[in-house]
Chain A
Amino acid sequence: MKKFKIAYLYYDLMNLYGENGNIRYLEKELKEQDLDVVIDYITIGDKIDTSYDFYYIGCGTLNNQLIVLKDITKYKKEFKDIIDSGKFVLVTGNAIELFGCEIFNEAKTYKGLEIFPYSVTISDVEVDYRTVGEQYYKTELVPHSIIGFVNKSSEIDSINNNTYGSVTDRNISPLFKVIDGFGYDYDNNKYDGVYYNNFYGTYLIGPLLVRNPYFTDYLIERICKKMGTKYKKNKRDGYEYLAYNEYLKNFYEKLNN
């Protein structure tokens, strides 16, 4: 059996909204593909290296995000290698902000990993001005709609190759198109997330892989292809599929037809 190594990064800091569900679901699905899954829990004080096949970071409080930012920016080179070499990276919630160039908060500017050409503004009055709500997105990767939840007080200002072209020349695409809900910025609300090679970033919080099993199945197929193992078709009859279908039926029937 081929080994598949997952790095669950900052599991004790970026775990605000049931993010463990993503790792647990991924592990289960990969095991069904006869991959020997190993999960390493990595946080402050541990070392991040490029030996993993899959990296995950979830959503955290502002304080925890800043603790993580200080630590993760020690690994700029590693993350460039990880992302450019097409390893799988999934980031959910405000973890997406770590991968941009700059973060502005309370008149302070923090440097990000400088991998993608965007800056982020975090509201100074976090509690009273939050973007909260259910989201309904489309993606070019799978025919099935994406469902999920956003709870944030920050936005990606704009994705701008002109401003940050000297730092990064990676041309990224949005991961999702907003059908109903919010995008990564307040003004346009057209797109959410970042997609580049096998980097998947979104502001959606929580166990989105569990809630979007069709999307996860697509990821699993891609992983199998990359690992050179034969993809075994999912029967798609588990509770998570029923939950997904039921949710669309109850809340988005009109939009879906």
Chain B
Amino acid sequence: MKIGNSVRINKLVTKVCKLFGKNGSVYPGHVLYDFLKQEDVLDKVKYPKYVIAVTGSSGKGSTTDLINHILTDAGYDVCYNKSGSNGVLAAVTLILNNCDNKGNFLHDVLLLECDERHLKLIFKKNKPTHMIITNITRDQPSRNGYPDLVFQDIVDSLGNETKLLINADDPMVNSLKFTRKNEIVTYGIDKNDDSYTRFENIYPDFAYCPICNSKIKYNYYHYGHIGNYECPKCDFKRGNVDYEVKEINYDKHYIDVNGKDLYLNKDVIYAAYYTVAAYGLCREIGISEEVIITAINKDKRESKRGKELILDGRKLTMLESKNENNLSYYQSMKYITSRNGTKTVILGFDNVSRRYKFNDLSWLWDVNFEMLNDKDIDKIIVIGRFRYDVATRLEFAGIGNNKMVLVHDFHKLLDVIKDTKGDLYTMVCFDMTSNILNLVEEEENEKV
């Protein structure tokens, strides 16, 4: 099919979706790609000067948002997948909706957050000019198998013409520096107050050198397997990085990158990663330091780590925590334990995933729940269908029955909460989040 026809069909189906009140960010691509078998449709698009892909296990969305903010502020006309739909069908829909009937892309920049597994489908022939790879971590093993396989999918998608901006603190990602001919620029975070040197309980991934298979030595960790490392047997190491966060100041909301202060809009380490990545990318496409810094620093809306609400007259912070992703739970627990004052934590789930029906519970033992052994935590409330499995794990983390409360009937949750003290934090996945939001709403309605 000629590209013009694909563009017309895509636009038409998008209109129809809108007519029926659907958001239509994926369906038009589905029609072209799956029904009409136009799997090569993106190969025919005439791309603009800058095609930027952002991929990796976590941090893709925030990095893409910030790059869009800077580029737009710098006067570029940017098209990006704001909705967060990041698979090939969403890419087809977005790209064709922004082409003329000859397949010319109509903006200065195409900026795409890309699912790691879909990169090779999105960029089959036309490769991006720039690509950021944030990190590779354990995530949804029922879908992904294990992290190496996800990484291999990314590598398989690469052409030599793409300039790579990679997180050097992740040894798997950084191995590209040793295996690829691409032009490669790196970013990372220097040692800071939160860095640690010894592992407890759970052993990290990629403990062995991706080049020579010897055990690598860590000088320090930031979290998981992210940190500063070197191989004692070969040349593989983190090494010097091009864009380095030298200091993180959470209280004053800034990071120091190569001697410049950049505003940090969340007080968590991954915010430092997406800020330095966005800064580096924009520098690499030739935007001046001043313009980038002005753009970052002017966007002073403080973005909260989680949704903040009121329940039982107390502050409730909802931290979205992804099941089957130990680092997602780690970030939530790190945040909770860094807050002052007495607190109560709510966790648990009815289903491991909303994407598939599998309920693999192995990951509960990869999460360092030992962190919840904190004197400021009054009670830990365990909810959901798998509450006994979670309770088993928490017991091993040293959390006793004086601290743990199991809720067998979700409708009784509010009564249980009333018997606890301090600020409330939920550390739950999407489905449970909406159940708890309903609870907050019901409570509000009862007051009226």
Task: Spell out A's residues near B (CB within 8 Å).
Answer: 11-13, 15-21, 24-25, 28, 43-45, 61-64, 67, 126-127, 130, 132-134, 149, 151, 153, 205-207, 210-211, 238-240, 242-243, 246-247, 250-251
Contact = CB atoms under 8 A, between A and B. Distances in A.
A253 to B, nearest CB: 14
B362 A239 contact: no
A251 B117 CA distance: 30
21 contacts: A16-B141, A18-B361, A18-B363, A19-B365, A24-B365, A25-B396, A44-B208, A127-B117, A127-B149, A127-B150, A127-B152, A130-B145, A151-B142, A153-B145, A206-B362, A206-B365, A207-B361, A207-B364, A211-B389, A239-B388, A239-B392
Contacts of B208: 12-13, 44, 64, 67
- The secondary structure that dominates the A interface is mixed
A125 B401 CA distance: 47
B365 A18 contact: yes
Contacts of B152: 127
A24 B365 CA distance: 10
A12 B203 contact: yes
B146 interface: yes
Nearest to A244: B388
Interface string B136-147: 000001101111
B360 interface: yes
- The secondary structure that dominates the B interface is helix
Interface residues of B, number: 37
Nearest to A66: B213
Which residue, of A20, A61, A239, has the highest number of chain B Cβ atoms within 10 A? A239
Given A24-B365, A151-B145, A239-B391, 7 more contacts: A17-B362, A19-B365, A20-B365, A63-B148, A127-B145, A149-B360, A240-B392
B358 interface: yes
Contact of A246 (B148, B153, B207, B388): B388
A243 B386 contact: yes
Nearest to A41: B203
Interface string B389-425: 1011101100000000000000000000000000000
Contacts of B180: none
B302 to A, nearest CB: 36
B361 A211 contact: yes
A211 B150 CA distance: 28
B125 to A, nearest CB: 21
B119 to A, nearest CB: 13
A20 to B, nearest CB: 6
A132 B207 CA distance: 25
A20 B385 contact: no
Contacts of B393: 21
A242 B358 contact: no
Given A20-B202, A149-B360, A210 B392 contact: yes
Nearest to A15: B203
A43 B216 CA distance: 13
Given A17-B363, A210-B392, A240-B392, A127 B358 contact: no
A13 B201 CA distance: 15
A64 B76 CA distance: 46
Contacts of B117: 127
B363 A134 contact: no
Given A64-B208, A67-B208, A250 B146 contact: no
Interface string B113-146: 0000100000000000000000000000110111
B203 A242 contact: no
Contacts of B213: 63, 67
